[in-house]
Amino acid sequence: MQIATLLNSSHMVRLAAAADDLTAAITPAHNWKHLHELLRNRTVSVAVVDPQFAKGVAATEVLRLLTWWPSTPIIAYTGLNTATARALTMLGRRGLREVVFFQVDDARIRFCRILQRAAASRFVARLRGEVHPQLTSLPAHIASTIDDLLERPHAYQAGQDIAISSGAAPRSLQRALHSAGLASPRHLVLGARVAHAIAYLRDPGLRVQDVAIKLGYTRPDILGRHTFEVLQLRPSALRGTDQDPAMDDMLIDRLVAWLIPGRHVSELSS
């Protein structure tokens, strides 16, 4: 898990304790502009920010994060006072889903759970739920690698990386995947990358080139070829699809059919 932050030192200490339990990496931002740069150029699982990082309550800055980076979960971690309460009420109406109050409800175990829950992209989490039954029938070392692939597809350049990461011989890996009803390693890598591309392409602040870089592509046209191969759609067609539940269902259906060849769209829709 990669956490971007904009916090003062006292907040950072308590967040770092929770992040350590998750073996998560923290990248601090120096200011709001730097935080936007991190979200544009890096793979970030969740951003934890204090609306009171500078003087006053920067509700407009948090709102800008929610508007420009909807695929990145934002957690407001701040002190509880009258000014923040008013701002957080407004932000809650505009899409802020997670708030943690300093020294009130930021116990280490609870903070870990909040980070884990927030970091799961709703779209990718839904896909992982569809694939979960297949993962349970895999050997543990292969299942954990596939789970990691679905969380961090940028760390896998090709199907052979699944074998390397899991320590399984390529033929043994192929047999295990086939027995579990899953597609080939190449299909799994492409499917995971395209799933995350769907989530990223919904961010107004990201260009196709930015999404390609986040996912480890050397050129954006390769990302375009892969989205068409998996979904029969170009990246431009995936913009704004979060506003259409029917489109979400169709995208999940096509991804599941790509990852689990034995399951057809008709089965998923019934």
Gap between the Cα atoms of 256 and 134, Å rounded: 11
CB 29 within 8 A of CB 52: no
- Name the fold adopted by 122-269: Arc Repressor Mutant, subunit A (1.10.10)
Tell me: the pLDDT tens digits for 116-129?
A: 777 766 778 788 88
| Overall pTM > 0.75 | no
Tell me: the pLDDT tens digits for 222-234?
A: 999 999 999 999 9
Name the residue type at position 109.
I
Q: How far is CA 67 from CA 9, 70, 89, 96, 193, in A?
A: 27, 6, 17, 10, 23
Over pLDDT 90: what percentage of the chain?
44
Let me know if the fold of 2-119 is the same as that of 122-269. no
Higher pLDDT, 146 or 44: 146
Residue 182 pLDDT level (bands cut at 50, 70, 90): very high
Please tell me the predicted confidence (pLDDT) of residue 265: 47
Closest CA to 135 of 192, 200, 72: 192
Q: How do the domains of the chain map onto residue ranges?
A: 2-119, 122-269
Kindly report the CATH class assigned to 2-119.
Answer: alpha beta
